[in-house]
Amino acid sequence: VSVATEDIPVRMPSYECQRITALKHHNHRFTTALELLEEHAGYQGGGQRADSRARGFRRASCTLKSLSHPLTSIEQAGKLPNIGPHSLAVIKDILEDGYSQEVQDICDGDFYNTMQLFTGIFGIGCSTARKWYEKGFRTLDDIRNDSTITLRKDQKIGLELYQDLNTPVTLAEANIIQELVKAEVQRLQPGATVVLTGGFRRGKTEGHDVDLLISHPTEGKETGLLSAVLARLRRKNLLAYESTTANTYDPSTVTKKEYTLDHFERCFSIFKFDKSWISSKPTSQSPPGVVKPGTSNPDLPHQGDRVSLGTAGGSDGESTAEKAWVGRRVDLIIAPASQYAYALVGWTGSKYFNRSARLYAEREMNMKLTSHVLYDPVKNQYLSASSEEDVFRHLQLPYREPTERNC
């Protein structure tokens, strides 16, 4: 007897962290649309309301990603968890017409496209991007050429390296950067570990940055490591930008504060990734140093422009139009051994997996989960974990591989 997939009863737990969510799934035609709506809702002003609207689309999308077969009926969608009325209407349109007019209109609109362009600038968030949109700015040159705009150092570099930073980082590049940092770290502190986390650890082959979690099996030996590593990288002229934040972790605040961000010592940086480190394309091109006629893409650095990064960037010798490196965003995070397992879960993500795990911990387990620790307020106990498996066990969740946390 053959049973149509829509007749199979679906039992799906409502927390994303209770489910398996792989990168590849059966419902991309819905999830692409829903995540565009999420992005668009996030661009809107209005603080928490906009955020929760955005999250609604994301949760619906996550549900469809966890579904073991293609969705074929609106009735079944209606029985799945976390799909609100707006998402349901969009799903219905796609089922019936093959597309959603609402999504199409957003895609075709000035607002969405301009917001995407401006928030793609490193250092620019939604509110600045929206302000610029409302003033009538539409292109990067509008921003570059307006004398009334003053940009922070990170935002200036974001504009200068716009093209670089909006070209996805490949896994091959991420591995090279990880090896490079590991070599420096281990020179300074033998036995120290450098792990590629973030999207790459979840199996993605491209990402917007490289997330490296640095630790040492002996608690305390990670102290001072970040600034020493940065000094070495700086001396080798490998950094175009760096911004370090000190460790502000205080275990006693775990119960009080809303822990969405963590408190590890970290550096948000831009590496100068030497183009010669990788040969992604066979080079039938001009030899190094020869400038080829530029393209007409207005968002490419202007032909003849010198990519000068002032104090943050290249040495004075670098005055050629085409630089020898590509800017790559790298996050370096330092975790002490005792917090490492929680840091690894936290920095592996996805963001929505973490979010659901925290909600689950709070509502179902009456515990507080952070990237530092799991705290049981009833027993007044910090639960120690030496592996990711320990973290899942403490939460009474079935273990999920990083590749299964792609919600």
- Looking at the Cβ atoms of 91 and 334, the one nearer to ligand GTP is 334
**Single-letter amino acid code for the residue at 244:** T
- Looking at the Cβ atoms of 234 and 351, the one nearer to ligand GTP is 351
Binds ligand GTP (CB under 6 A): choice among 273, 371, 392, 402: 371
Task: Establish whether 211 is a catalytic residue.
Answer: yes
Kindly give, in sequence order, each residue whose CB lies less than 8 Å from that of residue 132, ignoring residues fewer than 6 positions away. 114, 118, 142, 143, 149
- Looking at the Cβ atoms of 137 and 342, the one nearer to ligand GTP is 342
- Looking at the Cβ atoms of 170 and 193, the one nearer to ligand GTP is 170
What gap in Å lies between CA 345 and CA 120, rounded to an integer? Answer: 26
Residue 203 contacts Mn ion per CB under 5 A: no
Residue 222 contacts Mn ion per CB under 5 A: no
**DSSP notation for 186-198:** HHHSTT-EEEE-H
- The 3-class secondary structure across 36-85, one letter per residue, is HHHHHHHHCCCHHHHHHHHHHHHHHHHHHHHCCCCCCCHHHHHHCCCCCH
Question: Which one of ligand GTP, Mn ion, none is in contact with 100 (Cβ closer than 5 to 8 A by kind)?
Answer: none
Residue 346 contacts ligand GTP per CB under 6 A: yes
Q: Considering only 85-93, 199-207, 250-258, 294-302, which stretch makes contact with Mn ion by CB under 5 A?
A: 199-207
- Secondary structure (3-state) at 375: strand
**DSSP notation for 226-241:** HHHHHHHHHHTT-EEE
Tokens of 316: 């004075």
Binds ligand GTP (CB under 6 A): choice among 55, 138, 208, 306: 208
- Looking at the Cβ atoms of 318 and 331, the one nearer to Mn ion is 331
Task: Enter the DSSP assignment of 169.
Answer: E
Residue with tokens 């139009």: 321
Residue 261 contacts ligand GTP per CB under 6 A: yes
43 close to 111: Cβ distance less than 8 angstroms: yes
- Tell me the β-bridge partners of 333: 213, 266
Q: Considering only 48-56, 157-165, 200-208, 391-399, which stretch makes contact with ligand GTP by CB under 6 A?
A: 200-208
Question: Given the DSSP bridges, would you call strands 374-376 and 206-207 parallel, antiparallel or unpaired?
Answer: unpaired
Site mask, ligand GTP, residues 290-329, x = CB under 6 A?
A: ----------------------------------------
Question: Which one of ligand GTP, Mn ion, none is in contact with 301 (Cβ closer than 5 to 8 A by kind)?
Answer: none
Degrees to nearest 5, angle at CA 33 with 31 and 36:
105
Task: Establish whether 376 is a catalytic residue.
Answer: no
- Looking at the Cβ atoms of 350 and 356, the one nearer to ligand GTP is 350
Residue 16 contacts ligand GTP per CB under 6 A: no
Residue 211 contacts Mn ion per CB under 5 A: yes
Q: Residue 90: how many CB atoms within 10 A of its CB? A: 23
Q: Which sequence positions are flagged as catalytic? A: 209, 211, 331
Task: Return residues touching ligand GTP (CB under 6 A).
Answer: 198-199, 204, 207-209, 211, 261-262, 346-347, 349-351, 354, 371
